Structure 1
């Protein structure tokens, strides 16, 4: 296990050679360039508030911004825009903070059986906050991955053996905001089947079926507004490898404040911590991280690094389990075991 840990940390250092998105200037005057996608989605919502129809408005916004319009997945599902179009900007901010608070509360409850005392639970909660640092930035509330990531984190925290309906419902909501959250639903369905939770597995499968119907209707609606000469996407076979996943995790969490040479190994340690937690929830979370690592490493492009937001929220929680895990591995590696000596008195 120590050897595997060393290999994992070495693999995380591949992030040092992984491409990074263009740096953000931080100047409010350059917001249109620094946050082009965010401005795009905000523009769509603003036009819907003034009576615009989602697909027509989105098609025009994509053309204006020189974005591809083919295939149909270049159009986001209309769920988030429809909700925000019926809320004021302040209302959307309040809803965002309520969602983040719900995630924090759900995970606090999950920490109770894992940590016997309040101080380590507080540390774990602070690590969750570090993973959610991007999620509570009001100027990013137009970004679909922000909301889908919060819903995935909430769904994962709420799932318990024998109690899965809420988790499935919230997981379905995540997919209806951003269809790439379907990978989370697929992993949870597979995990439920492997664990023998057949009813839960069928629940996740039903959520996938609902998403399939919605996506089919979405695809049909997109074909009504796309023109033959509209540009197509260059594809998603980026093949950037595991190092790109690690870099996206650093960009999507508080690790972005640290040098990459330090932040990248911390991503590996967080994954190690999740693997060390003897809890079915941890196994599922690790499977979800692994699935998105494959997705980002194979299909991700430099400009789609924000896919990492879907799973970045709970990632750093794993660091809370690292001290005990390293202690146990060190004891096993050094053979530190107390020999049991049984003294028996025989009286004749």
Structure 2
């Protein structure tokens, strides 16, 4: 077994340190395939470009305007479901099936608060995410500069999440809550993480995928009590969804339009594109941004920590969700995992160096000459 090299940025050798040469070469081949696959994002469809014309805001941010109108209607005393049905019809949105109606949690809270307070709460949540990951990442890096780079990458993944005009967007809140939950989870301390996971689900039910993954991984690691603890929020969500479906049925009319479905089948490239659109990589050339997403995923695989495997499983699951069921107009599903994905780039240098070193390792054979006595 090759001897691991001294880490470059990390305090501990990467997951690929010490691999035998055949496995390391296989790993390099997988990395090359991953990077090649990310370039399919260049041919993947995406949302139409934003005009940045204030007069065209209703078209550029149609969903945001929709949620704003719902909050305004509830704040004026309207029933959430009646207001939402009217807003969906006015905007030519589908009203069937019931999941086209967002859960009322976020709208009800925002309707009870002034807009300024909502924005302050969003900033406080973003600050909590930064602090939680500051604490979680600090032991992973040997020196201050790479640690600072990791925090900058975290901030780069959160640029969308601190825009006040998106405070009514459900995925913005749910994505931050998932990031906070993941950072807080420890084998011996998971209740807070599960609680934030529940709040994320009550805001956006697609966060149930994250909670389900955490439950499965806890069970696989032998943490039966924790696994049960993650299942409880899923049970709560199931009850809420049943009540929600019943309430939606009371306001939907027979002739209301239905959803075109979610079998988009747009593939891995669409997932990569959603990640570039949901982070600061949106400012980079498309091919560079795509390759960096691939390196970020590789970096998470390289970090030799149980948290990294959880993060990688979550990214892979949402990649499957987006690639199989996402549509061009649902690219914002990527916001559910955008805050933390770029942090993987800080783990990539050690992983790449260790893979290359192991792949080029040559066994040293020492020949000893023996002389027989006469």
TM over 0.5: yes
**Gap regions ≥5 residues in structure 1:** 341-348
Q: CA separation in 2, counterparts of 1:294 and 1:31?
A: 31
Match of 2:78 among 21, 33, 52: 52
The one of 138, 157, 165 aligned to 1:131: 157
**Runs of 4+ in structure 1 displaced over 4 angstroms?**
336-340
Structure 2: 5+ residue stretches without partners:
1-26, 367-374
Alignment partner, residue 274 of structure 1: 300
Question: Is 2:358 aligned against 1:332?
Answer: yes
Match of 1:33 in 2: 59
Contact kept? 1:189, 1:204, Cα under 8 Å: yes
- In the alignment, structure 1 residue 308 sits paired with structure 2 residue 334: yes
Secondary structure of the residue aligned to 2:309 is helix
Q: Which residue of 1 aligns with 2:44?
A: 18
Question: Does 1:72 pair with 2:98?
Answer: yes
Paired residue for 1:252?
Answer: 278
Residue 327 of structure 1: how far off its partner (Å): 1.1
In our comparison, the structure showing a higher alpha carbon Rg is 2
> Contact 1:68–1:74 (CA<8 Å) still a contact in 2?
yes
Relative CO higher for 1 or 2, CA cutoff 8 Å, sep ≥ 6? 2
TM-score for the superposition, normalised by structure 2: 0.89
CA–CA separation in structure 2 for the residues paired with 1:118 and 1:212: 45
Distance in 1 of aligned mates of 2:284 and 2:54:
23
The secondary structure found in structure 1 opposite 2:347 is: helix
RMSD, matched Cα: 1.2
Distance, in Å, in 1 between the alignment partners of 2:184 and 2:256 is: 43
- Among 239, 253, 259, the residue aligned to 1:227: 253
Return the offset for 1:183.
Answer: 0.5
Q: In the comparison of the two structures, how many residue pairs are matched?
A: 340
Residues 97-128 of structure 1: CA distance to partner in whole angstroms, max 9, x if unpaired?
00000000000000122113222221111100
| 1:199 counterpart SS class | helix
> Structure 1 CA distance, aligned partners of 2:300 and 2:48?
31
Contact kept, 8 Å, 1:331 with 1:337, in 2: the verdict is no
1:281-318: CA deviation from partner (whole Å, max 9, x where unpaired): 00000000000000000000000000000001100000
Residue of structure 2 equivalent to 1:263: 289
